[in-house]
Chain A
């Protein structure tokens, strides 16, 4: 476990049971769940041996929704109730959704907090809820296969996802009843699976083109440390766009008006995808369109025509590739290997383009469908505490710059893109009016200089500033990004100490209250007792804290604490241990806080020891 690791690298002696933790690749087109069993990470199949779960949910009146292949099969006959590619809507407002336009055959209704909801036969659903349905299905699969409750899950997200999209994904996990151990970037997960497998060292480019997103990441692998140097991409670019381009072409050839016929549009999309897949091997593909009047158009799509349709889409991956090299401070020449991930990299045309940009033939010997889930499972296993931890470490970055709005609608950047996370940064701003008592803070994400061109993440206000002349009030705004890449912001007036802070809740996200309500509803639905669930959760948390403090004491209690200090901690330990077996949720929570307070000083001393140890321990082999 982590704590023993600190004093005795590599020698974990604490007995602990194996915790069930999984990695989930929540994809635009397909989702997977993977787990490490007996030291081997692999994806888990369903009862019928299928590993990929199509990310499709079909809502039915009066019964539970269908997820996966059954839902996908109904997409053409029941397009309005069958939701596919919902990942493209995550963290997006109704305006963004309108911009995706005709691409989506559903009906939208604006929801609370501007988050769009999809109208179905079974009511209105937010993208977060639809995603939660997919996650729930994978959770059930994992629990049935592994034979127990899951401790937690690592869920992957495109590296280029912004804060709102990440937050939405984490909310979906919570809603599905999962403890989200970490949000992990998809290319980083792929690198982990690939790098550990090949014992690779050097600089790697991971080119990930899936159904809905494109990511390009540059990583340095060095003695088990996976250091992301830079990442770039487009969170709305993928195989889906090619399907649409081909479907539009087919309908045009057949002389059919696209918007007139949702059923026909869905069928065309399905057939377009089939043709696209065929053209990964064949020189041409047969295509047909059934017109609304029942007549049929038949034709063929040659490779030449196909390339003319998809080349502009593939071309959009090139600029991010160039940018990522520049941001990483390297040239294509410095790259040891290019790894292709995502189903769309099966297309010869994509491979050619990637090879041309990086000047070397990319590796394709890993299964591009499963590699992301497998990497996530490896990380989940570590975070659950099942592994001696000194073998692997992931250092990831934030994909887009973060800043706040200043005068004139301009953005002042506070954290630059590609900064390694976690990170915290503060910047001081001054009041600009005499007697100003409040300051509005508008948090944005993006690279452009104008607020209007960036994504608005949140707004909050610092109030109660004592009146001063303009320029005398100093407001320090602190941005903190955690290891999931999620942002929290606080502001404090420096002369008076007036403070205000927010965990950034994206404008198009769900509020905590909404999530609580949805959770309660889904539990009521599952006929489970809410109190019992709360108690169980609090007990699990108490167990985690107890185990952590016990192993910290075993490792450093003698060296770093006086006998009296140690007794103080042990008293709180004993108290929590007995509270834990009771049924009073509030008292267990208090016991946890009391133990937290009692161990603060101890924690600080252990950390200080760690600084010296980290540098001393590595001097011989690394610094020599």
Chain B
């Protein structure tokens, strides 16, 4: 049944392979700049956060952020471009494959972009900074990174399906996606929030993702509720993405 998804996903991976160097340079530049500016530049002013030097506190979050950002961006732009600019989605739709196969392929592609780019940024941070973690923590970490990337890829597919104008996509990213990422304990511990706000922030799937992923990577600690929360969110957005795309296509 997923033959069509496989063909489209392989097409997307071929394109990624062709431009891998420029893609990776672009994707590494951003988290690395943040790392240098905040992690190194501000370190002296900030001191220890949750018992760790600031640069180490933010490192796992930067890896996670890169992955989910890449997943979201790939999905949203790819869907918009293939639907509105190149009309490739239309050319897929006159073949015997189903609409669900198309949307699943696009979700998978965004997800793969996220995982690959997250791993590369992880390697770079590992290579040029003193940030270290025991390798066995990686398994716990992946329990967050995988549903996290899936969640953002599905969210990207939804945005790329419902939004017809590129400027809308930029606005949604500025007012929704970036705040969600930045407010969920990437750059500061949740304890910095007023106590009345904390339960609300905790309810966000992104908080579960960034908190859980950092604890998993740094301390090898498992936060089961957070893992379940982000996994369930990923599942829900997956169902929503397939549903919304199918509806849009039957208009």
A binds B: no
